[in-house]
């Protein structure tokens, strides 16, 4: 009997890479949950459902009686953190309360979180963070979700896991919170304007250590955590396995676009990109690119955050390796390959 995966957030960057991996390895039936399903993805049973709507969840998921795994990668981004916390906590509750009572074969629920668990977004923190380190300042919806799952699992046959990747990277559209999308589009615009590739962050960020997580690797880790017995009721940091400094990665990016290296810390990314929509539309027509807008490919506020951190933001992946997950990706190779993929898919020139 095949496993049956419920993928929440199926059209996001994490969900897309996971679905592709499940189809590749075989032995999985896949149900994708999304408010706007992507029918172009074959081999997926799509359910259009708003996870914030408790009644819709009960109606749409009540018929899914043979689910074995839930991979939860949905996220509701909000301007106000209080609303973001409340909505993201409610979405998971609505899904599980609708699905668990009708799915007697349920074996595992996997949550995708991140290093914000340790407060990496708020300031300098103990780095590299270890899974046993205390959670960062709250409240935060990561905490609400894990606490809910942990409490609900008590005494049940199914188990849970939580993964904490950092800067999940891949090729995505309509999912602009993606550092590779920010890089690819920003560099393409710089080339079009004939200007050097300035680093859009302070010198502290240029020189500090960070880490990236390839979407392919994260998908492998999700399936591992969801099926390996030793992962029951555990949380793991996940990353490519290396650490990088932008000062060494930046020259390679400039070379990939045929650009001169620019200055560090001299531009504000959202301000610089604010008036580039018309230019981008011209580039789409000139180079026969897929007709996505700038905002569908990259979030400049997210880019400002990613390139604005002035402290090391590392986590230790030793626990995952000790428990049997040994996949590792070279981050330089990843960036090179993914920029090439952006070009092959006609997303950038």
Same domain assignment for residues 219 and 174: no
Same domain assignment for residues 226 and 301: no
Same domain assignment for residues 229 and 289: no
pLDDT of residue 232: 98
Same domain assignment for residues 48 and 161: yes
pLDDT of residue 320: 98
Q: Is 16 a domain residue?
A: yes
Q: Which residues of the chain have pLDDT under 50?
A: none
Same domain assignment for residues 188 and 285: yes
Q: With contact defined as beta carbons under 8 Å apart, do 109 and 158 qualify?
A: yes
Domain count, the chain: 2
pLDDT of residue 1: 59
Same domain assignment for residues 39 and 175: no
Q: DSSP assignment, residue 34?
A: E
| Residue 195: closest CA among 267, 118, 248 | 267
State the Cα–Cα distance between residues 264 and 11, nearest whole angstrom: 35
Query: Using one digit for the tens of pLDDT, what is the confidence trace for 120-179?
Result: 999 999 999 999 999 999 899 999 999 999 999 999 999 999 999 999 999 999 888 999
Same domain assignment for residues 22 and 52: yes
Q: Is 322 a domain residue?
A: no
If you search the block for the tokens 């300031």, which residue do you land on? 123
3 state DSSP class of 30? strand
Q: Is 320 a domain residue?
A: no
Q: Is 319 a domain residue?
A: no
Domain that holds residue 91: 3-166+214-238
| Residue 243: closest CA among 326, 315, 324, 308 | 315
- The enclosing domain of 93 has a CATH number of 3.40.50.720
Residue 162 bridge partners (DSSP): 111, 235
State the Cα–Cα distance between residues 186 and 202, nearest whole angstrom: 17
Same domain assignment for residues 174 and 293: yes
Same domain assignment for residues 57 and 108: yes
Q: Is 321 a domain residue?
A: no
**E strands of 144-266, at which residues?**
159-165, 168-169, 197-199, 209-210, 213-214, 234-238, 244-245, 261-264
Same domain assignment for residues 206 and 107: no
b (16+ CB within 10 A) / e for 261-278: ebebbebebeebbeebee
Same domain assignment for residues 30 and 65: yes
Same domain assignment for residues 125 and 183: no
Q: Is 86 a domain residue?
A: yes
| Residue 73: closest CA among 183, 170, 184, 210 | 170
Q: Is 349 a domain residue?
A: no
State the Cα–Cα distance between residues 337 and 177, nearest whole angstrom: 19
Q: Is 323 a domain residue?
A: no
């Amino acid at each position: 009997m095949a496993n049956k995966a419920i993928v929440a957030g199926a059209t996001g960057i994490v969900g897309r890479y996971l679905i592709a991996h499940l189809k590749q390895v075989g032995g999985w039936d896949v149900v994708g949950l999304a408010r706007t399903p992507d029918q172009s993805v074959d081999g997926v049973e799509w359910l259009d459902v708003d996870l914030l709507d408790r009644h819709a969840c009960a109606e749409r998921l009540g018929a899914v009686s043979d689910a074995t795994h839930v991979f939860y990668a949905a996220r509701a981004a909000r301007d106000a953190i209080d609303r973001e916390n409340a909505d993201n906590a409610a979405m998971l509750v609505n899904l599980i309360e609708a699905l668990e009572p009708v799915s007697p074969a349920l074996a595992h629920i996997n949550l995708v979180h991140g290093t914000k668990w340790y407060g990496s977004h708020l300031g300098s923190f103990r780095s590299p963070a270890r899974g046993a380190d205390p959670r960062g300042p709250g409240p935060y919806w990561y905490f609400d979700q894990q606490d809910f799952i942990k409490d609900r699992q008590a005494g049940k046959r199914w188990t849970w896991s939580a993964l904490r990747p950092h800067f999940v990277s891949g090729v995505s559209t309509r999912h602009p919170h993606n550092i590779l999308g920010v890089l690819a589009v920003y560099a393409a615009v710089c080339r079009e304007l004939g200007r050097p590739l300035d680093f859009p962050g302070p010198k502290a960020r240029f020189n500090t250590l960070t880490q990236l997580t390839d979407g392919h690797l994260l998908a492998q880790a999700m399936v591992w955590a969801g099926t390996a017995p030793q992962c029951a009721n555990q949380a793991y940091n996940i990353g490519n396995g290396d650490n990088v400094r932008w000062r060494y990665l930046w020259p390679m990016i400039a070379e990939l676009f045929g650009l001169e290296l620019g200055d560090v810390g001299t531009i504000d990314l959202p301000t610089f990109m604010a008036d580039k929509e018309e230019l981008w539309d011209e580039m789409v027509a000139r180079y026969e690119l897929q007709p996505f807008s700038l905002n569908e490919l990259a979030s400049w506020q997210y880019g400002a955050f990613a390139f604005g951190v002035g402290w090391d933001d590392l986590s230790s992946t030793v626990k995952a390796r000790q428990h049997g997950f040994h996949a590792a990706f070279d981050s330089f190779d990843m960036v090179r390959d993914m920029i090439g993929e952006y070009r092959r898919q006609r997303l950038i020139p």
